[in-house]
């Protein structure tokens, strides 16, 4: 991610959820979260998540997702 964090996909069930682990610059685990984001072509840039999505007709396009990091 842009802030130096590393997002790792731990598990994913298409159409249901994706489970992520987040690590800081030193490799320390700092968070885990679930989201309904496809994993194909997934990357983070400028505070957004981008992933490939497929229409019913089979066309692929890039979907942009907003997210917010909150401290507990």
Q: What is the pLDDT of residues 11-66, one digit of tens each?
A: 988 778 889 898 988 999 988 888 888 888 888 888 788 999 888 898 999 999 88
Q: Torsion-angle region of residue 27: left (phi > 0), alpha (psi -120 to 50) or beta? A: left
Distance between CA 9 and CA 33 in Å, rounded? 10
Q: How confident is the model at residue 9 (pLDDT cuts 50, 70, 90)?
A: confident
Q: In this structure, are residues 20 and 11 in contact, taking their beta carbons and an 8 Å threshold?
A: no
In this prediction the pTM is 0.66
């Amino acid at each position: 991610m842009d802030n130096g964090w590393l997002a790792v996909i731990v598990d994913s069930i298409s159409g249901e959820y994706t489970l992520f682990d987040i690590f800081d610059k030193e490799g320390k685990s700092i968070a885990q979260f679930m989201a309904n984001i496809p994993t194909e072509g997934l990357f983070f840039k400028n505070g957004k998540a981008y992933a490939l999505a497929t229409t019913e007709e089979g066309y692929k396009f890039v979907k942009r997702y907003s997210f917010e990091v909150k401290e507990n």
